[in-house]
Amino acid sequence: MLSREDNRRLAELERGLWNEDPEFCLRMSDGVPALRRGRRVPFSLIFTAMVSWLAAIALGALGWWGAAMATALCATAVLVAVSYRTHRRGRFSRE
């Protein structure tokens, strides 16, 4: 496991190598620059949001409106955070 400083240095070296010799980088990778791949969205976050929404619906059906709204708000916040993280990293772009 690399430290934050080592990760920063490694990313800087990768950017420099990509700028100097992109053909070499493409030959050594699967054709997609490592800088644009990004991390995958954890499935557990999406699953947690889905379960929370189901719990909010069940709480609403039982008449506990305050708890249902709070649960739905938390589930929505998780989905917004996942969406923002994914969109910010460029996972939805075609580059």
Burial 50-72 (b: 16+ CB within 10 A, else e): eebbebbeebeeeeeeeebeebb
Going by pLDDT thresholds of 50, 70 and 90, the confidence category of residue 92 is very low
- Per-residue DSSP letter, 30: S
pLDDT of residue 39: 61
One-letter amino acid of 88? R
pTM: 0.51
3-state secondary structure of 83: helix
Q: Which of 34, 15, 77 is nearest to 52 (CA)?
A: 77
The yes-or-no verdict on residue 35 having pLDDT over 80 is no
Express each pLDDT in 54-89 by its tens digit: 999 999 999 999 999 999 999 999 989 888 877 765
